[in-house]
Structure 1
Amino acid sequence: MANIKYYDVILKPVVTEKSMAAMAEKKYTFLVHPEANKSMIKEAVEKMFEGTKVASVNTMNLDGKNKRRGMVVGKTAKTKKAIVTLTADSKDIEIFAGL
């Protein structure tokens, strides 16, 4: 496995209606590095966002979608998504505050 640093683990937040509704329960959704495991994701969130304490991490691997351009058929890249649940006494993550 590649030597992945904590700042390479979280790629970007997922902003959908479902993920925004889950933020009321302190659940945040991120796209993460495909080789990252749950402990790496927990460490990355706690280091990148000061004052946060992670209660649990749920991950899911998503296959690429089939795409077609004319007669050429291909697939988009595989991705990995993580839903991070914070503890009750943890601070909220500010990047979602203005959304």
Structure 2
Amino acid sequence: MTETVGSTATPDRGSAEGEQGEGLSRRDRKRANKAAGKGGKKQKDPNRKNVFARTGLFYRQIIAELRKVVWPSRNDLTTYTTTVIVFVLVIMAIVYGLDTGFAELAKLVFG
């Protein structure tokens, strides 16, 4: 993934343990961490931001993504809306015709 100038994306966090523990099962990694003295209570990540900073970052990322959206013009929107309405009307007519036909067929068969 390429980063652009001014991007609000955060890089993926990597760890030295992830490189060493590739291919190991979860239980084996847990045992290795215990043997290395890393077991027990989880310690706070000093790089983790508080909830307000994370919320602010989330909303900044939403705004950045919305700026990338190509919004349709009024003419495009009118064309798309008309196409959808015509398509729905055609499908409704097909379903109505099939329903009516099957109802008449059921009357003939079952009386």
TM-score, length-scaled by structure 1:
0.23
TM-score, length-scaled by structure 2:
0.21
Higher helix share: 2
Higher strand share: 1
